Amino acid sequence: MEMESLPNGPGAAASKLTESLKLEHQFLRVPFEHLKKSMRANHRIVDKEMNAVISGVADAVAPDRDMSKEEAVHHLTCLVSKLQGLKRKLEEGTRTEHLQAQKCRARLDHLDVAEIENHSEWNSMRLKRILVDYMLRLSYYDTAMKLAETSNMQDLVDIEVFLDAKKVIDALQNKEVAPALAWCAENKSRLRKSKSKFEFQLRLQEFIELVRADNNLRAITYARKYLAPWGATHMKELQRVIATLAFKGNTECATYKVLFEPKQWDYLVEQFKHEFCRLYGMTLEPLLNIYLQAGLSALKTPLCYEDDCTKEDPLSQESFRKLALPLPFSKQHHSKLVCYITKELMDFDNPPLVLPNGYVYSTKALEEMAKKNDGKITCPRTGLVFNYTELVKAYIS
């Protein structure tokens, strides 16, 4: 028994393509979330700058404020400069929003099934997108950018978003928390809604570094300012970390020694990647892993691990078997028979015929063979020759 070949023809290809679009949630959401983030940032800038200008005007016309002509001119000049600065920031922000909206439009056009003429070319582009996603997640940024550039698909991949994340990851790997804390501040409302502990973990690590450096007074001041507000929800973890003031950085007590180990920074990097993916609606696993696992699981049957497994089955290869080992077997409600000779599905219109030696082939294949050999059938597996009249029809239930 072999795997059923995929359906051919424009209709079948379009149907398969429509089904595949259900997996493109991340493809559309990431640029949309990036656009929303830019719009929120621009809105905050406008609020901040306009409030400052309005406050400055109110201060200038206050009844108790006695300004000379020179002071008034200087004051108004400063306000005008602020407004000009705001105008430049808004122009830059508008350009950024326009580019991100353009990226959203490019992706919608890319997924428009009605406009796709070459399905093979579209699938090839999709594979490249998946490879770029894989490279970006594994920090192969230069290779990812080169592939995106040579394939002319910059609008279809999320390089800019991952480069922003790279700054935070590089800083954490260098044991610096400032960029990560700035990222938390930018996305404070979103992180609060998801009940994220990432900022708290960063604060704890900063406290641990102060204790490691024997800056106990600074550590206590830091704890009062940045850790105390988390006490209501994370008291147990807070008490454990505060206790390091007594145990010191060179403690041998396993409960507290682990807090000073370098792997805590690796944990923060992984936690940031998790929060980053969740913020943008990305899958935690690379798309390449997900598609490989889904494909291998769909192909995996107990027969794949038998010695007589056909070589045309991908899981006959040891490398694929190893990848599929932890995956579940495919749930097959009905068996599908594929002809060994023609590789076509054996069904009601092309029923299977059984040779006297027990091997089964499709009616279409054996009829063609009989026509070419004066009614004789040669079994391609054993080489035995039979008359076509000896064949028995098999029925699929």
- pLDDT tens for 108-143 read 888 876 667 777 888 899 899 999 999 999 999 999
Residue 9 has pLDDT above 70, yes or no: no
CA gap 48, 129 in Å, rounded: 39
CATH of the domain at 369: 3.30.40
% of the chain residues with pLDDT over 90:
42
Residue 15 has pLDDT above 60, yes or no: no
The answer as to whether 389 is a domain residue is yes
What's the pLDDT at 361?
Answer: 93
Are 316 and 285 within 8 A, CB to CB? Answer: no
262 and 306 co-located in one domain: no
Interval 312-338 mean pLDDT = 80
The answer as to whether 20 is a domain residue is no
Residue 386 has pLDDT above 90, yes or no: yes
303 and 351 co-located in one domain: no
- As a whole number, the mean pLDDT across the chain is 86
What's the pLDDT at 349?
Answer: 84
Neighbours of 167 (CB within 10 A): 13
Positive or negative torsion for Cα 16, 20, 22, 24: negative
64 and 48 co-located in one domain: yes
311 CB-contact burial (10 Å; exposed 0-12 / middle 13-18 / buried 19+):
exposed
Residue 390 has pLDDT above 60, yes or no: yes
275 and 291 co-located in one domain: no
Residue 6 has pLDDT above 50, yes or no: no
CA gap 25, 27 in Å, rounded: 5
46 and 78 co-located in one domain: yes
- pLDDT tens for 135-166 read 999 999 999 999 999 999 999 999 999 999 99
The answer as to whether 146 is a domain residue is no
What's the pLDDT at 8?
Answer: 43
The answer as to whether 132 is a domain residue is no
172 and 273 co-located in one domain: yes
The answer as to whether 155 is a domain residue is no
- pLDDT tens for 29-72 read 888 888 888 888 888 888 888 888 888 888 777 776 777 778 77
The answer as to whether 154 is a domain residue is no
- pLDDT tens for 253-296 read 999 999 999 999 999 999 999 999 999 888 888 989 888 888 88
Measured N-to-C along each axis, helices 69-110 and 25-60 cross at an angle, to the nearest 10 degrees, of 170
The answer as to whether 115 is a domain residue is no
Interval 322-346 mean pLDDT = 82
Residue 167 has pLDDT above 90, yes or no: yes
DSSP H or E run through 387: strand 385-387
Per the structure block, which two tokens stand in for 108? 């919608």
Instruction: Give the chain's domain count.
Output: 4
Return the closest-CA partner of residue 237 out of 213, 214, 264.
264
% of the chain residues with pLDDT over 70:
91
Per the structure block, which two tokens stand in for 152? 């002319």
Q: Find residue 360's DSSP bridge partners.
A: 354
36 and 99 co-located in one domain: yes
CA gap 372, 366 in Å, rounded: 10
Residue 174 has pLDDT above 80, yes or no: yes
Return the closest-CA partner of residue 316 out of 329, 297, 333, 303.
303
Per the structure block, which two tokens stand in for 199? 């900022």
Residue 363 has pLDDT above 80, yes or no: yes
Kindly provide the residue ranges of all beta strands, DSSP E only, lying in 92-241, ordered along the sequence. none
169 and 262 co-located in one domain: yes
> Domain boundary at 247, 280, 313, which?
280
> Domain boundary at 87, 110, 133, which?
110
Return the closest-CA partner of residue 309 out of 298, 323, 299.
299
pTM, full prediction: 0.69
170 and 261 co-located in one domain: yes
Per the structure block, which two tokens stand in for 99? 């580019």
Gyration radius of the chain over CA positions: 33
What residue numbers bound the domain in which 320 lies? 287-324
191 and 257 co-located in one domain: yes
What's the pLDDT at 69?
Answer: 77
Are 29 and 280 within 8 A, CB to CB? Answer: yes
- pLDDT tens for 195-237 read 999 999 999 999 999 999 999 999 999 999 999 999 889 999 9
Reduce the DSSP state of residue 349 to 3 states and report it. coil
Q: Which backbone phi and psi does 110 adopt, to 5 degrees?
A: -65, -30
Residue whose entry in the numeric block shows the structure tokens 């069904």:
347
What's the pLDDT at 17?
Answer: 54
CA gap 386, 384 in Å, rounded: 7
The answer as to whether 148 is a domain residue is no
Q: Which backbone phi and psi does 139 adopt, to 5 degrees?
A: 70, 25
191 and 299 co-located in one domain: no
DSSP H or E run through 298: helix 287-299
301 and 355 co-located in one domain: no
